[in-house]
A and B are shown apart, each in its own frame.
Chain A
Amino acid sequence: MVVPLTSRPSAGPSAEEAIELYRQMLIIRRTEEQLARAHQQGLVHGACHTYVGEEAIAAGVCAHLDREDAVFSTHRGHGHALAKGVPPREVIAELLGRVTGVSHGRGGSMHVFSPEVGMLGTSGIVGPSILMAAGVAYAFRLAKSERVSVAFFGDGASNNGAFHEGLNMASIWKLPVLFVCENNQYATEVPFVSVAGNPDVSARGVAYGLPTLAVDGNDVLAVHAAAGEAVRRARAGDGPTLLACTTYRTRPHSEGMRDGGYRTREEVEEWRQRDPIKRLREHLVDHAAKLDAIDREIEQMATDALEWAKASPYPDAATVLEHVYA
């Protein structure tokens, strides 16, 4: 049955839950800022795609997940890893190529794996995470568990065959999976509207018979409510849901890359005004003292995380052939 929903479901988070969402978004923001600085200092060896501006989506969705649930992510995946429970210092250490990194230095930014917390990978390839998330959902059902699987992906992936094949299979087999499209409106630096026959991603979910929710991806309360409904459906055996979130990345596609030629400063500034952290802070105006304390705590955490990463050793070169095979 197709359920095209575009309004925010009624049940919103409690003030306590909202404060936790604030905390989670801030962990992502401060970690990303730390990584951007580390990149400028030459400490990051490879690519670094930050999630700044999009934090509401990872935070709002992952708040509903248990450690045993699975998350698949993208090349812009630090936020998903952090929201799923990977400690900031392990993310930073990974980008610094250290053995204490979340993938023990095997992966870098785009290959962040932490099965211990259900983080089954960021990815350097756009699309496959959608299929693998559907597969994990298939295995969960085969094992008769109530676990759910989540694929985060961007607008770019919604033009990829993996999206269409994955949504179709999840729909016909009613798999317990959430497809979370983070439409930040640029596939790398190509405007989505210029490469989409129909730039309404939610229409694509409906086309495959998926219940679909169009969500303001910069409103963490809206994301939280929509994801709650989708996770509930998945756990109940009612199948997959597509969340079509609209958002914006306010930093360059990748750190150190020129950010001009495809969007205007005015546009970036306009979206900075819709910053999800700022918006939630305004919503939680009665809890300012508590939020201030969180600000200080996370600032310190991010500082300590970088120092810990910098002090960590590199992997032993003799281990380079380990784990090619089981």
Chain B
Amino acid sequence: MRELTFTEAAREGLAEEMQRDPMVFVVGEGIGARGGNFATTLGLFERFGPERLRDTPITERGFTGLCTGAAMVGARPVVDYMFFDFALDALGEIINQTAKIQYMSDGRLKMPIVLRGCIGIGSSAATHHSGNYYSLFAHVPGLRVVAPTTPRDAKGLLKAAIRSDDPVVFMEHRGVLGLRGPVPDVDSDEVLPFGCATVRRQGNDVTIVGIAHMVTQALAAADELSARGVSAEVIDPRTLAPLDIDTVLASVAKTGRLLIVDEDYAPCGVGAEIAAQVADRGFDDLDAPVRRLNSLHAPVPYSPPLEAALVPTPASIASAVRELLAE
């Protein structure tokens, strides 16, 4: 299989869907001739023109509301926020309109819209360009939340997101954008389902659920632990809403121990939800309390040592696993 980066694969998926359906269009700042701050649309302006690759004023609320309207009558907008922090200006639209239109209209209107952008801590991006926010969106009925971690998933899940009649929050962690990996050939038209977690690494001693970039960090930790004779299973939920808890439960039934590694904040987070569901349904399989490892509960600082102090690392994950195994 050929190899692409996460960004290249996602862009290929977008281009295929734009080719397939003339009602797919993209809005965002600098996503036209420039090709996007993260090269999300590089080369597409020449193919699809300005009406379908629409450079916008800096009005996140405005173009989110506009695209919500467009989606009500058959268009399939892709809103490219660049950084997801910017989408917070549109939170009222997303939660009060985008997420609720289908329900309010008793299913007579659909809401096929994709809200995409970069999340994640790193590179001294500081606190207005580092947020994760997926827990916030996963809390809201009516939204789908997707956080892919591999190039293949980026493409297959973005294609699914564009074809979905539900609003999809599509979050691309800065830590995985440049990762290379195998992607099926262009003619395969692979569309991946929502609500299907995957086991990234098999193991017997402990289950680690990683969210977004924390999957790759957990895999690095698993390598480190393996050298010390600990066999860790690493699960990538891929979509946070819907959440595939069955794959987690099946793993916990095998290992008896669960660590959830999540770069988003712990209180009221996706990790807390996974822990609660495992406590509800997998209590008898647990040999130790469910543990969570999250970023510290503070805005993201700029200076490298401060920033690094906030976030889980392979070393801190391995350490948390050792503590969990000792319980």
Task: Mark each residue of chain A from 54 to 72: 1 if its CB lies under 8 Å from any CB of chain B, else 0.
Answer: 0000000000000000101
Task: Mark each residue of chain A from 99 to 135: 1 if its CB lies under 8 Å from any CB of chain B, else 0.
Answer: 0000110110001010110001100110010111111
A240 CB → nearest B CB, Å: 12
A131-B93, A326-B166 known; A142 vs B75 contact (CB < 8 Å): yes
User: How many residues on the A side are at the interface (Cβ–Cβ under 8 A)?
Assistant: 43
> Are B96 and A128 within 8 A (Cβ)?
yes
A120 touches which of B59, B72, B92, B110 (Cβ 8 Å): B72
A115-B108, A135-B65, A161-B61 known; A142 vs B51 contact (CB < 8 Å): yes
B106 touches which of A106, A141, A326 (Cβ 8 Å): A106
Q: Please, which residues of chain A bring their CB within 8 A of the CB of B70?
A: 135-136, 138-139, 142
Cα–Cα, bound, A142→B23 (Å): 7
Q: Does B74 contact A (CB under 8 A)?
A: yes
A324-B142, A326-B102 known; A136 vs B61 contact (CB < 8 Å): no
A24 CB → nearest B CB, Å: 24
Q: Does A209 contact B (CB under 8 A)?
A: no
Cα–Cα, bound, A322→B102 (Å): 10
A136 touches which of B57, B64, B73, B108 (Cβ 8 Å): B73
> Are A162 and B72 within 8 A (Cβ)?
no
Cα–Cα, bound, A87→B93 (Å): 29
> Are B93 and A138 within 8 A (Cβ)?
no
Q: Please, which residues of chain B bring their CB within 8 A of the CB of A125?
A: 92, 96-97
Q: Does B25 contact A (CB under 8 A)?
A: yes
Q: What residue in chain B is nearest A168 (Cβ atoms)? A: B57
Cα–Cα, bound, A139→B110 (Å): 14
Cα–Cα, bound, A113→B68 (Å): 15
B95 CB → nearest A CB, Å: 10
Cα–Cα, bound, A168→B56 (Å): 10
Q: Does A47 contact B (CB under 8 A)?
A: no
Cα–Cα, bound, A101→B153 (Å): 43
Q: What residue in chain A is nearest B27 (Cβ atoms)? A: A138
> Are A132 and B61 within 8 A (Cβ)?
no
> Are A324 and B62 within 8 A (Cβ)?
no
Q: List CB contacts (< 8 Å) of A145-179 with chain B.
A: 149, 161-162, 165-166, 168-169, 172-173
Q: Please, which residues of chain A bring their CB within 8 A of the CB of B62?
A: 131, 161-162, 165-166, 168-169
> Are A121 and B66 within 8 A (Cβ)?
no
Q: What residue in chain B is nearest A120 (Cβ atoms)? A: B72
A139-B75, A324-B103 known; A132 vs B69 contact (CB < 8 Å): yes
B104 touches which of A106, A136, A165, A322 (Cβ 8 Å): A106
A307 CB → nearest B CB, Å: 24
> Are A324 and B104 within 8 A (Cβ)?
no
Most chain B CB within 10 A, of A136, A138, A325, is at A325
> Are B102 and A324 within 8 A (Cβ)?
yes
Q: Does B105 contact A (CB under 8 A)?
A: yes
Q: Does B164 contact A (CB under 8 A)?
A: yes
Q: Which residues of A approach B to under 8 Å, CB–CB?
A: 70, 72, 103-104, 106-107, 111, 113, 115-116, 120-121, 124-125, 128, 130-143, 149, 161-162, 165-166, 168-169, 172-173, 322-326
Interchain residue pairs A-B with the least CB separation, the first 4? A135-B69, A131-B65, A165-B62, A132-B69
Q: Which residues of B approach A to under 8 Å, CB–CB?
A: 22-23, 25, 51-52, 54, 56-57, 59, 61-75, 77, 92-93, 96-97, 101-111, 141-142, 144, 164-166
Contact sample, A vs B, 27 pairs, CB 8 Å cutoff: A113-B108, A115-B108, A120-B69, A121-B101, A125-B97, A131-B64, A131-B93, A132-B72, A135-B70, A136-B72, A136-B73, A138-B75, A139-B74, A142-B75, A143-B75, A166-B62, A168-B57, A169-B56, A169-B62, A169-B66, A173-B54, A323-B105, A323-B107, A324-B102, A324-B103, A325-B142, A326-B111
Q: A106-B105, A115-B108, A326-B107 are in contact. List 15 more A-B contacts (CB 8 A).
A: A70-B73, A121-B101, A125-B96, A128-B93, A128-B97, A131-B64, A133-B69, A134-B66, A139-B74, A165-B62, A165-B65, A166-B65, A323-B102, A323-B103, A323-B105
